[in-house]
Chain A
């Protein structure tokens, strides 16, 4: 609150500055700064719902906030590890289609996002092309983080085509947006325009600062959380002033600047800790929270990828975060990997088992069963074992459970096992197809966008 009142935020849009001023903020027009008093922040917090519903195109409801954690794949990488050659290469539109299809199949992905942005299309329509490729290949709800407001408009139009109309989309949203201020404390022109586009249609939106601890926020973890909260509280207020009652998800992708390489790290334990804290801040503000999880600086699905993903995902989930944007990326969220999507799905499964905890009940204490088996007996034939084991155990899909001799026959490491699984899913899985007519309309919308926006 102190930062909001004393330091203020930069708001690069005069209309929104006026909006804030009329609402009671202390606005300096020359500097484009808004200093926001506590009562106004509370107003914004109270307006935003603590939970809301997202829909899939099949009509399935997904409640966000005050529920179990939901998972969205990490999005917008520009590189991908080729499945055949295992070498990194620029991502293509086909990769968007395939990763979306894979996410459609993976059981721990609840909302889909484009893992990659296609590098083989005109840059001006990169987000729109990704949206189309994704929407046609999964029937799960959609997450998009567009980089400008023009493409945002087109993406909303595409979602409306799938919903069957703009009103239908507004009533039962199947699209959730993502907007990020420019740390520190700067609400730049672009992000304000994108916010406006989403809330114009009352679409739920992630308000997610991405400060880099040590560079665009203090190096102290607590200081980074202060910057994150300041930014998202101010942008939430703006969203609520523009569209009272608009659903938002607050949180951040809290990276750390590595002081030896000047690269940003998202797989660090610091990020994990801040992710957990983000969940707690969300509870404190009574808003749905989000953390960027499963980040790793590893560039291949190796041990580092494993341990960094594990800790950055475990901590926020144990802290009760509402949404994680996580599976599928390497290299500090710059390189996608089919194998990592599968591997992260595995890790999520295990973590969900952790969240289940240990059941203490008459059944689970199994005193009768212990009595029945008696000293020196065994439990394998027991009805209790048959009936309870599916509830008590998590079933790994790709983790090795073979002994040495069995394993030596094929010598498959995790990377190879994940690849096998990914290829099998891609070979067999068919997502719910989109109606032909809607697909056609989306394709012609893209052509229209291309005509208008691509300079010849």
Chain B
């Protein structure tokens, strides 16, 4: 929240009367500062700040309207994402790491943010034929035969909050679909979650399908879910094991060589 400040002019007037500087010199100084934009926030910065604040307020409508306003002001959509959305999520993420905020705050901020990115910002970015800047692209899903998705949904939100581009295929996803989507979007990572011992083997099929298309070096795999273990991941030739959502984000970063 921005605290109300005394007007710039009133401060300068007081200083001038102390220093006995003429108003003329004062105005020159004022313009100098404005041109360099160092003390006063421009309209645009204020708009981006509002996006960041809106994300931190967890309010759906506020995020959407803040983003709309920023786009109306012709601010570059990538800027809106980087300096508005991502900034807000970073602040929340840091507070969560410090133990000041909880999972419910993280997901509460990430979901409206994701909605705004998906509905308002990505289409604009595509129009400009630009690419959305992200830490990496990950294709996620719960494996075929399995419909337990809450864990995977939490990981998706957290990866998004951490700065990844997440393509969520949902539940009951056949191995081959993970791979085809990865190829289509040029993904860096594939993440598959399995909650039943009987559906776990599909994770092996994902690895095999990637190998069959010669994609195993380009696309890293990360697996998780209650019956999944580091030994299993090693056995099937997977690249990373995620014990829980937090670990998932850490491992995803490690696999792509991204520092903490």
Contacts and interface: CB of A to CB of B under 8 A. Distances in A.
B160 to A, nearest CB: 15
Contact of A124 (B147, B150, B198, B231): B198
B104 A262 contact: no
Nearest to B196: A147
A259 B198 contact: no
A148 B201 CA distance: 15
A188 B146 CA distance: 10
A148 B226 CA distance: 17
A117 B246 contact: no
A334 interface: yes
Given A78-B227, A117-B197, A257 B103 contact: yes
Given A123-B198, A123-B200, A262-B246, A219 B103 contact: no
A414 interface: no
Contacts, number: 47
Given A123-B197, A215-B154, 9 more contacts: A126-B198, A147-B196, A147-B198, A188-B147, A215-B150, A259-B103, A260-B99, A261-B103, A261-B246
A212 B195 CA distance: 15
Interface of B: 99, 102-104, 147-148, 150-151, 154, 196-198, 200-201, 226-227, 229, 231, 244-246
B103 A212 contact: no
A155 B47 CA distance: 63
Contacts of B196: 147
A124 B198 CA distance: 6
A263 interface: yes
A259 B104 contact: yes
Nearest to A190: B147
B213 to A, nearest CB: 21
A286 interface: no
Contacts of A190: 147
Which of B104, B197, B231, B244 has the most chain A CB within a 10 Å cutoff? Answer: B197
Given A90-B229, A260-B99, A262-B244, A219 B197 contact: no
Contacts of A124: 198
A214 B105 CA distance: 12
Contacts of A123: 197-198, 200-201
A182 B246 contact: no
Given A188-B147, A215-B150, A260 B102 contact: yes
A262 B201 CA distance: 24
A212 B150 contact: yes
A262 B99 CA distance: 13
B197 A126 contact: yes
A124 B197 CA distance: 9
Q: 4 tightest A-B contacts by CB?
A: A259-B102, A259-B103, A262-B245, A123-B198
A147 B195 CA distance: 11
A148 B197 CA distance: 11
A259 B102 CA distance: 5
A215 B104 CA distance: 9
Interface in A261-305: 261-263
Contact of B103 (A78, A117, A147, A262): A262
A115 to B, nearest CB: 15
A13 to B, nearest CB: 14
